[in-house]
């Protein structure tokens, strides 16, 4: 096969690589799904913050983004996207499974990571403490109850707050030394009354002692309150076991491992650690040094020398306050009890946290990290790694005022302590002996390379904090979409695409026969390469991206139709098959190139000036059309030539839509223009009557007006039995009592059998605070809001001995479908707040949807399965708490929450208009260049303006709102319509040749000869968007409706507006042309 081998190899390679990328998870090449979905499809949260900066000041957003990543995602374990937007904003995108952490992350973004300097409270000012406790009891309630008694006083001159001092982490022996087990079997050991936490020792090693023999090690698979279950047989007679230990070292002479922990990396690096164990059968106690630590493992600087490590204890206390490594002095004290005692709070088994009070300074003495001028590595008085810092002018003055006010008494009997706080923890607490103005150090409390790394990390944090780039609160934009709405959009969108991709190929094969098969192969390869490219670049598929996908399908079909209609012309002229193929591709190439390049250039402009949603549309369009040039031309031609050279293809057969036509499209052009103007005027009158000229009019969604949107489900006796319109009016009236400028619309989710009794409503308001909106909705609809209910919990099957292989299994039945990840997050919060709290709660259970497909394990379901190793007698209480948690959690009450500040809304309007106008300008410029006359570009754009105005009027008549997906629909319409126009303009250029002027006959001939292609392309693309409209659901309804109307308008304007306009400007219609046209009719 001449000249085809290389081309076939290239096509095969592209197809294989594309398929490997798309199915990388299924074949084991990757653990992650290759294609990411935007939050409008998958659910999640978007936050946009404005950066604080002075006028004319430039901010390095890349450095700010890096600092924010270190602050909220330091280990990179969360799928959080943080990126800069424009010149003065940052955007944070969180997946749906992190929705319950949104408030915590927002707090970290705006409050954490700060350095401050405070005076520790002293017994000299103890009379002020009760007033503090009365005012600030919400700060740390569990600690308030443990405070030592302090003499009451009515003084309210000072305010005190809590700072974390540190913690002591301990791993206790599994049993007192020399304790014999109650019973032992080949794979288990029981110690009556042990009281172990379930699975406390999972994955650790048990050392079994036996009389007259060396100890044997076995791995603990799981444990109950009094029984250890082993993963392998113990290897000798169970009756010979005389004692046992749990070894925290696991046989590693330099490691301490405790699987229930979740430590911050290298938090304990350089600190001493107390180890108790056994050497040659004798107890031994040593103090070692921590080299580094991970989430659950401590690595030592040297061998500990113990055969078994029975317990460990490490105290984190960078401030230098003695916590007592030997256990003799637990409560920290400073300066001979001149400082109020620290207060202990057990945060989880084996961990005790310590807190102290500090005084909140006056404004003139408030010194923070924002006042740092320089941060650098240094050493403390003991030559240990430390962080040095210098203040700027304001910081030096305030620091001098602060330390000067708290100078020691003249007799030297009392010294105040200055607490250097980082993220609310006391890093240092030196005594104030003199007034200090310009510098200081922060001690780290250890030595070693890992401590040096911590110093460098802290320097990075402080340097980021010292930049004048704080984030303004509240967020400019906040958008949260629940999993149910995202799942519904995905389901309907995938169904619509599937129907479209099935219907279009069937149509192409029936109409074009073999050529249709080639077109289908090219279209499918285009889709594979497009999606694979998005996967490789990490791009997300969004609703506007689906608009780009629809345009890509239409353009791909159009390219093949252009080629095949050219082949038909060659066949009708009697050309041989080889010439039909060669000329068909050759003559269509110029038109395909012009139409694709025009749309790609438009996409590039949109990418440069558009909003993030518009960029999603532009990206899909650009990638799809670039691959379209490869698949529709290169791949299709290769298949044709292969079929011809192999003898498979003897002749081309295809159906014919129209015989040769001779219609006068130019003659009635002025009547058509008048008719179009009347239709446009009608549509615009409706547009303006709905407030189209008013930024707060009902034509616009909140992303253009500013405000908030919430989606709720309401089940009220008052609403039942009323018509849908009456329900909407009742909801609007009720919401208007608590919120301004309220609009309400109903929302339908497919497959929801209860939506008739408890329908969903989108409630929009110009109130821009999401917290205010949520509280107002809770107040207005407290009794009718549909809450998530845990209807039933039941064991799935009886369990022998109380445990299954992985734990007890329970069936959880909800009133509404819920994704497993969301329920798991709520259950983890319940366990963490239990009394006593469950250690490492996420490792104690898992939640699955047993009906979910393998490629979508987080699919919402009304019946989920909980598998847990927790004690069965406690599960009932935990599940009751879970039910209460679900009822009261606002994340479960509001399926969707969007918030756009007025600044963002204004910029959105501006960017949308700039994107549309810029696309028109690039079209004028390119067509001017290609056709050597500006009239071609202007005529095309006038037709596009016509199409956009017709679609805008239809949108107004149908009651839809203009939002970002609607802007994507307008851009799709522009791309399709200009492609249609270019096809006719290209044929006009071909027929005109070197003729000095354009005639009506020539334009009519160009339209007539391309009429079959115009109708076929418009029909196939129109069918695609009609399918999106009928089956795509609420998320695609407005977008699809705009295209259903717009494609019909675009086809009309191409024939009756764009081409005839050329006659008015650069043509010279003659009487001869008119007579010839009349005679032909």
Task: Count structural domains, the chain.
Answer: 6
Same structural domain, 1014 and 1044: yes
DSSP secondary structure letter of residue 1056: I
Residues 575, 719: one domain?
Answer: no
Is 758 found in the same domain as 698? no
pLDDT band per the 50, 70, 90 thresholds, residue 509: very high
Which range among 30-34, 302-306, 779-783, 796-800 shows the weakest confidence by mean pLDDT? 796-800
Do both 711 and 618 map to the same domain?
Answer: no
Do 794 and 839 lie in a common domain? yes
Asked whether the beta carbons of 891 and 100 are under 8 A apart, the reply is yes
539 and 688 share one domain: no
CB 1068 within 8 A of CB 1003: no
- What CATH number is attached to the domain comprising 729? 3.30.70
pLDDT for res 1049: 93
Confidence of residue 111 (pLDDT cuts 50, 70, 90): low
The residue that leads in pLDDT, 630 or 754, is: 630
Position 516 scores a pLDDT of 92
Is residue 340 predicted with pLDDT exceeding 60?
no
Q: What is the 3-state secondary structure (H, E, C) of 840-855?
A: CHHHHEEEECCCCCCC
475 domain residue, yes or no: no
Average pLDDT over residues 677-688: 90
Note the residue count of the chain: 1081
Q: Do 855 and 782 fall into the same domain? A: no
> Residue 675 and residue 34: Cα distance in Å, rounded?
50
Position 904 scores a pLDDT of: 59
Among 243, 255, 240, CA closest to 186: 240
Does this model's pTM top 0.85?
no
pLDDT at residue 738 greater than cutoff 60: yes
What does the buried/exposed string (b/e) look like for 184-195 if buried means 16 or more CB atoms within 10 Å of the residue's CB? beeebbebeebe
Rounded-to-integer distance, Cα 537 and Cα 317, Å: 45
Domain boundary among 428, 451, 466: 466
Decide the pairing of beta strands 297-300 and 372-379: unpaired
Q: Is the peptide bond before 810 cis (omega within 30 degrees of 0)?
A: no
Nearest to 589 by CA among 567, 618, 619: 567
Q: Same domain for 698 and 765?
A: no
Q: Is residue 698 part of a domain?
A: yes
* pLDDT band with cut points at 50, 70 and 90 for residue 153: very low
State which of 446, 466, 486 marks the end of a domain. Answer: 466
Residue 266 lies in a domain: yes
Residue 72 lies in a domain: no
**Candidate ranges 255-269, 576-590, 656-670; pick with highest mean pLDDT:** 576-590
CA angle 501, 505, 506 (to 5 degrees): 115
Contacts 24+ apart (CB under 8 A), 790-795: 790/814, 790/879, 790/882, 790/883, 790/886, 791/815, 793/876, 793/879
Q: Name which of 218-227, 452-461, 915-924, 971-980 the model is least confident about.
A: 452-461
CB neighbours of residue 751 within 10 Å: 10
Does one domain contain both 738 and 678? no
Structural domain includes residue 180 = yes
The pLDDT value recorded for residue 283 is 92
Half-sphere exposure of 933 (CA within 13 A, CB side): 16
Q: How confident is the model at residue 413 (pLDDT cuts 50, 70, 90)?
A: low
| pLDDT value for 856 | 67
Tell me 1057's DSSP state: I
Give residue 245's Cα distance to chain centre.
Answer: 46
The answer to whether 1009 and 987 have CB atoms below 8 angstroms apart is yes
Residue 802 has a pLDDT of: 44
Distance separating alpha carbons of residues 21 and 401, to the nearest angstrom? 63
Same domain for 431 and 460?
A: yes
**Residue 751 in domain:** yes
pLDDT, position 9:
93
Residue 445 has pLDDT above 70, yes or no: no
CB 792: neighbour CB atoms within 10 A? 11
Query: Each residue of 572-625: pLDDT tens digit?
Result: 899 999 999 999 999 889 888 888 888 888 778 777 766 666 677 778 888 888
Above 70 in pLDDT, residue 1042?
A: yes
Are residues 610 and 525 both part of a single domain?
Answer: yes
CA–CA dist 111, 961 (Å, integer): 37
Span 801-850, pLDDT tens digits:
444 455 788 999 998 888 888 888 888 888 877 777 777 777 788 899 98
Q: Is residue 916 very low, low, confident or very high in pLDDT (cuts 50, 70, 90)?
A: confident
Instruction: Report the 10 Å Cβ neighbour count for 76.
Output: 9
Where does 817-901 have alpha helices with state H? 820-832, 872-888, 890-893
Percent residues over pLDDT 70 in the chain = 77
The pLDDT of residue 855 is 63
- Phi, psi (rounded to 5 degrees) for 673: -65, -40
Domain CATH number, residue 624: 1.20.1640.10
What is the full DSSP assignment across 740-789? Answer: SS-EEEEE--TT-TTTTTS-EEEEEES---HHHHHHHHHHHTTTTBPPP-
More confident residue, 227 or 698: 227
Query: In angstroms, what CA-CA distances link 721 with 51, 201, 727?
Result: 50, 58, 9
Res 139: pLDDT: 41
User: Residue 932 has what DSSP assignment?
Assistant: S
Same domain, 962 and 1039: yes
Residue 328 has pLDDT above 50, yes or no: no
pLDDT digits (tens, 9 = 90+) for 949-982: 999 999 999 888 887 778 777 877 887 788 888 8
**Separation of alpha carbons 712 and 765, rounded Å:** 14
Of the residues 466, 484, 501, the one at which a domain ends: 466
Host domain of residue 192:
170-316
94 in any annotated domain: no
241 assigned to some structural domain: yes
Spatial distance between the Cα atoms of 533 and 521, rounded to a whole number of angstroms: 18
| pLDDT attached to residue 40 | 67
Lowest average pLDDT, out of 218-227, 261-270, 613-622, 807-816, goes to 613-622
DSSP string, 462-522: HHHHHSS-PBPSS-SEEEEE-HHHHHHHHHHHHHHHHHHHHHHHHHHHHHHTHHHHHHHHH
Q: What is the per-residue pLDDT across 447-480, written as a single tens digit (0 to 9) for each?
A: 655 567 667 756 655 665 544 466 776 677 777 7
* Distance (Å, whole) CA 513 – CA 519: 10
User: Nearest Cα to 520, choosing from 569, 493, 553?
Assistant: 553
Per-residue pLDDT, 327: 31
- Predicted pLDDT of residue 126: 47
Confidence of residue 634 (pLDDT cuts 50, 70, 90): very high
């Amino acid at each position: 096969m001449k000249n085809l081998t290389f081309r076939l190899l290239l096509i095969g390679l592209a197809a294989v690589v594309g398929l490997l990328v798309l199915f990388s998870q299924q074949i084991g090449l990757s653990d992650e799904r290759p294609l990411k979905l935007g939050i409008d499809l998958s659910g999640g949260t978007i936050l946009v913050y404005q950066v604080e900066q002075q006028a004319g000041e430039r901010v390095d957003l890349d450095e700010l983004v890096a600092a924010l990543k270190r602050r909220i995602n330091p280990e990179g374990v969360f799928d959080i996207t943080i990126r800069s937007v424009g010149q003065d904003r940052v955007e944070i995108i969180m997946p749906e499974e992190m929705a319950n952490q949104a408030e915590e992350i927002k707090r970290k973004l705006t409050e954490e990571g700060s350095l401050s300097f405070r005076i520790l409270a002293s017994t000299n000012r103890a009379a002020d403490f009760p007033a503090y406790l009365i005012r600030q009891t919400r700060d740390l309630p569990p600690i308030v109850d443990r405070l030592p008694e302090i003499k009451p006083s009515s003084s309210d001159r000072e305010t005190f707050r809590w700072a974390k001092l540190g913690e002591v982490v301990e791993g206790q022996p599994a049993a007192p030394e020399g304790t014999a087990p109650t019973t032992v079997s080949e794979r288990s050991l029981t110690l009556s009354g042990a009281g172990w936490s379930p699975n406390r020792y999972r994955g650790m090693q048990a050392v079994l002692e036996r009389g007259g023999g060396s100890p044997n090690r076995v791995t603990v698979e799981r444990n109950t309150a009094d029984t250890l279950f082993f993963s392998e047989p113990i290897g000798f007679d169970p009756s010979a076991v005389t004692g046992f230990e749990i070894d925290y070292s696991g046989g590693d002479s330099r490691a301490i491992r405790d699987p229930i922990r979740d430590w911050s990396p290298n938090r304990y690096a350089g600190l001493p650690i107390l180890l108790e164990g056994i050497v040659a059968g004798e107890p031994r106690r040593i103090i070692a040094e921590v080299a580094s630590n991970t989430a659950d493992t401590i690595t030592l600087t040297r061998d500990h020398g113990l055969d078994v490590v029975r317990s460990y204890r490490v105290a984190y206390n960078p401030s230098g306050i003695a916590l007592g490594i030997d256990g003799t002095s637990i409560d920290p004290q400073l300066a001979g009890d001149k400082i109020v005692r620290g207060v202990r709070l057990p945060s989880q088994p084996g961990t005790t946290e310590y807190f102290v009070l500090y005084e909140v300074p006056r404004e003139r003495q408030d010194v923070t990290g924002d006042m740092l001028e320089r941060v650098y590595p240094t050493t403390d008085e003991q030559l240990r790694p430390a962080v040095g810092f210098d203040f700027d002018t304001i910081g030096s003055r305030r620091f001098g005022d602060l330390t000067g006010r708290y100078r020691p008494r003249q007799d030297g009997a009392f010294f105040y302590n200055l607490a250097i706080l980082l993220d609310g923890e006391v890093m240092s607490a030196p005594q104030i002996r003199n007034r200090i103005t310009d510098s200081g150090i922060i001690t780290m409390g250890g030595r070693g390379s890992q401590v040096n790394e911590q110093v460098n990390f802290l320097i990075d944090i402080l340097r980021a904090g010292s930049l004048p780039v704080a984030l303004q609160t509240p967020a400019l934009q906040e958008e949260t979409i629940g999993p149910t709405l995202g799942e519904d959009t995905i389901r309907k969108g995938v169904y619509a695409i599937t129907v479209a991709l099935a219907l279009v190929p069937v149509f192409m094969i029936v109409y074009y026969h073999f050529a249709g098969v080639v077109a289908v192969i090219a279209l499918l390869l285009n889709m594979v390469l497009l999606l694979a490219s998005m996967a490789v670049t990490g791009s997300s598929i969004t609703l506007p991206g689906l608009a780009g996908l629809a345009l890509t399908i239409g353009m791909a079909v159009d390219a093949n139709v252009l080629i095949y209609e050219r082949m038909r012309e060659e066949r009708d002229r009697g050309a041989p098959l080889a010439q039909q193929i060669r000329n068909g591709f050759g003559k269509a190439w110029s038109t395909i190139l012009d139409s694709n390049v025009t749309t790609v250039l438009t996409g590039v402009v949109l990418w440069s000036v558009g909003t993030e949603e518009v960029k999603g549309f532009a990206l899909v369009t650009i990638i799809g059309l670039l691959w379209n040039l490869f698949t529709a031309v290169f791949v299709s031609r290769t298949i044709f030539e292969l079929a011809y050279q192999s003898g498979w293809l003897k002749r081309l057969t295809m159906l014919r839509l129209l015989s040769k036509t001779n219609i006068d499209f130019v003659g009635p052009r002025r009547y058509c223009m008048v008719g179009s103007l009347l239709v446009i005027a009608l549509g615009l009158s409706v547009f303006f009557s709905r407030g189209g000229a008013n930024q707060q009019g009902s034509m616009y969604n909140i992303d253009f007006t500013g405000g908030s949107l919430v989606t709720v489900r309401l089940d009220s006796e008052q609403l039942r039995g009323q018509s849908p319109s009456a329900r909407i009016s009742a909801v609007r009236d009720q919401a208007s009592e608590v919120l301004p400028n309220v609009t309400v619309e109903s929302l339908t989710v497919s497959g929801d059998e209860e939506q008739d009794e408890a329908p969903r409503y989108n409630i929009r308001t110009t109130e821009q605070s999401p917290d205010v909106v949520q509280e107002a909705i809770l107040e207005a609809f407290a009794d009718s809001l549909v809450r998530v209910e845990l209807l039933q919990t039941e064991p799935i099957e009886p369990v022998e001995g109380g445990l299954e292989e992985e734990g007890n299994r329970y069936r959880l039945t909800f009133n509404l479908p819920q994704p497993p990840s969301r329920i798991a997050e709520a259950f983890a919060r319940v366990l963490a707040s239990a009394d006593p709290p469950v250690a490492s709660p996420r490792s104690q259970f898992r939640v699955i949807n047993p009906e979910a497909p393998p490629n979508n394990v987080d699919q919402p379901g009304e019946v989920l399965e909980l598998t847990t190793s927790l004690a069965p007698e406690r599960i009932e209480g935990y599940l009751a708490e879970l039910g209460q948690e679900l009822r009261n959690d606002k994340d479960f009450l509001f399926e969707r929450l969007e918030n756009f500040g007025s600044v963002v809304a204004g910029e959105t309007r501006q960017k949308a208009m700039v994107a549309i106008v810029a696309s028109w300008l690039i079209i004028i410029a390119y067509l001017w260049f290609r056709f050597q006359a500006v009239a071609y570009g202007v005529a095309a754009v006038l037709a596009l303006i016509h199409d956009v105005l017709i679609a805008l009027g239809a949108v107004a008549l149908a009651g839809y709102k203009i939002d970002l997906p609607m802007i994507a629909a307008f851009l799709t319409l522009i791309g399709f319509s200009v492609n249609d126009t270019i096809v006719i303009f290209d044929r006009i250029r071909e027929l005109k040749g070197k003729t000095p002027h354009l005639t009506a006959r020539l334009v009519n001939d160009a339209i007539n000869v391309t009429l079959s292609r115009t109708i076929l392309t418009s029909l196939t693309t129109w069918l695609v968007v009609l399918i999106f409209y009928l089956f795509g659901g609420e998320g695609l309804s407005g977008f699809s409706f705009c295209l259903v109307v717009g494609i019909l308008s675009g086809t009309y304007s191409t024939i009756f507006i764009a081409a005839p306009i050329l006659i008015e400007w650069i043509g010279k219609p003659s009487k001869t042309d008119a007579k010839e046209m009349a005679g032909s009719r």
